[in-house]
A and B are shown apart, each in its own frame.
Chain A
């Protein structure tokens, strides 16, 4: 009975195993990158970046190119846009980034609306199709996750300093702008490789929710990365199970699971603090 509910869906269906593998890889990438997104308060920029890829993907679909190429171009355009805005304005950069993000989203939808299978394409881009993932894509995801992990290891010191204080990073010989740009590139890379699995709308949830949950209980950044990856992987598993048993959209179920875990843990922390008092 337990086996049927929790294990069999995966052993009986290869597409479920592929989905789980891709999802776990997404979780690791998002655990690493999401930790820095949460600690540096880059959630809004991350959100903008995640949606900025939409027009790129849309154009790629219209031209018959791989979606990932379009996503990369879109993400790079967004990074330059955000960089330009943050250099030019100081107080209103939130507003400007918000506008840029809405404009890119609208542009993406406008372009997709030219395509014949409009709603199908749009849903696939926004919510992914983790159940239709192919082995080639899993390999791509694996390579990207390893690359993200390697960058995080090499840049751990400047990233840590940057979270603490951009000035301390500078005076320690790590130019803060360079490492900020590398961080944005990592977010972009995560978004680009993950949009096939969970979609551009939901990849942001995977970036934020597990890391935010881990932040509630972590005392060290390395623990936070590990915890976030584990929570992400658990969300993928429960989301896929829910999707399988209750016939729900897989990408949405996964992100929902990650978000529910966050709110449960937030409640648990409140309760335990209340008890401690």
Chain B
């Protein structure tokens, strides 16, 4: 994770991820078809969409956990999973993994296995990367604690530390901000920015448009690529409607909702919300009185 010490090993001209006509899905069933994008090194891409929109499927395909249904994908200039030591993936975890007899530090250390194979010796550099990652995520004081005694937020920080301790050139994060409090969220976003400045590439699946606005690129997903570009340029009433079923517009960090798709007719209201609160809003519940 050390930001300045190591220079990423991809050649300057190679894209971190390059997808051409890529269709992703499970066992031959397409979830998102025809994705074309290129993520350059040193850039951060947010995958934004509601649950089931295909964010996780795309991340898993890039990680090499799912074969592409069709099309082509290069990761760090080769096939997905060709360089396990240079790609970090933080997925969503099965709760049974939390009950293992492991300390937080053991979980973070696992990040270094990829670079050493079965029996390769761990070095000082590995230990330094592990220490740095747990310090940056603010969990150094929990290093010796068993995983099953940690809170949800603390565990999430440990898992993020694991992803960062890999010191990978490409970092794939699936909803990393879940369970994090505001301070931890800011801290992790700062870290993502620093990693990108140091030449690493990051892909983040998120619900949070506010977070996406922090990053270089955003891909809006809803079983198809709704839009791809910077948040400021691509968020408009149509894309919001297609992505989240919300009609509204995005302006200077706030989404102005002018009505939601909810089956009611003639429902027009203006509501202004901070974007980070957008998806914690209760469903539209006012009554409609026809005059």
Contacts and interface: CB of A to CB of B under 8 A. Distances in A.
The answer to whether A binds B is: yes
Contacts of B96: 41
Interface stretch (A15-23, A93-101, A153-161, A264-272): A153-161
Contacts of A172: 84, 110, 113-114
B280 interface: no
A175 to B, nearest CB: 10
Nearest to A39: B100
B106 interface: yes
B100 A165 contact: no
B117 A173 contact: yes
Interface residues of B, number: 29
B87 A161 contact: no
B146 A161 contact: no
A173 B84 contact: yes
B182 interface: no
B94 A165 contact: yes
A167 B97 contact: no
A125 to B, nearest CB: 34
Contacts of A171: 63-65, 81, 84, 87-89, 114
A51 to B, nearest CB: 25
Contact of A221 (B64, B101, B114): B101
A39 B99 CA distance: 9
Contacts of A161: 110, 113
Interface string A170-201: 11111000000000000000000000000000
Interface in B67-106: 81, 84-85, 87-89, 91, 93-94, 96-97, 100-103, 106
A25 to B, nearest CB: 24
A220 interface: yes
B110 A218 contact: no
Chain A interface extent, by class: 20 to 34
A240 B85 CA distance: 50
A154 B110 contact: no
A163 interface: yes
Main secondary structure of the interface of B (DSSP, over half): mixed
Nearest to B93: A165
A227 to B, nearest CB: 10
B107 interface: yes
A217 to B, nearest CB: 9
B113 A218 contact: no
Given A164-B107, A170-B81, A173-B84, A219 B119 contact: no
Contacts, number: 75
B118 interface: yes
A223 B85 CA distance: 28
A30 interface: no
Interface string B110-125: 1001101111000000
B281 to A, nearest CB: 32
A163 to B, nearest CB: 6
Nearest to B146: A219
Q: Which of A157, A158, A168 has the most CB of B within 10 A?
A: A168
A52 B88 CA distance: 40
A254 interface: no
Q: Which of A164, A165, A172, A223 has the most CB of B within 10 A?
A: A172
A37 to B, nearest CB: 13
A41 B117 CA distance: 25
B95 to A, nearest CB: 11
Interface in B232-284: none
A209 interface: no
A215 interface: yes
Interface string A22-56: 00000000000000000101000000000000000
Contacts of B102: 164, 219-221
A255 B94 CA distance: 32
Nearest to A153: B119
A235 B227 CA distance: 64
A163 B118 CA distance: 16
Contact of B110 (A160, A167, A173, A215): A160
A2 B87 CA distance: 62
A219 B101 contact: yes
B249 to A, nearest CB: 38
A185 to B, nearest CB: 16
A212 to B, nearest CB: 12
Given A163-B100, A171-B65, A158 B93 contact: no
Given A154-B118, A219-B102, A223-B101, 7 more contacts: A157-B113, A157-B116, A163-B100, A168-B89, A171-B87, A173-B117, A221-B100
Of all A-B residue pairs in the complex, the 7 with the closest CB atoms, nearest first, are A173-B84, A172-B114, A218-B101, A171-B89, A157-B113, A219-B146, A167-B91
12 contacts: A39-B101, A41-B96, A155-B118, A163-B97, A164-B97, A164-B100, A165-B94, A167-B91, A170-B64, A172-B113, A215-B101, A218-B101
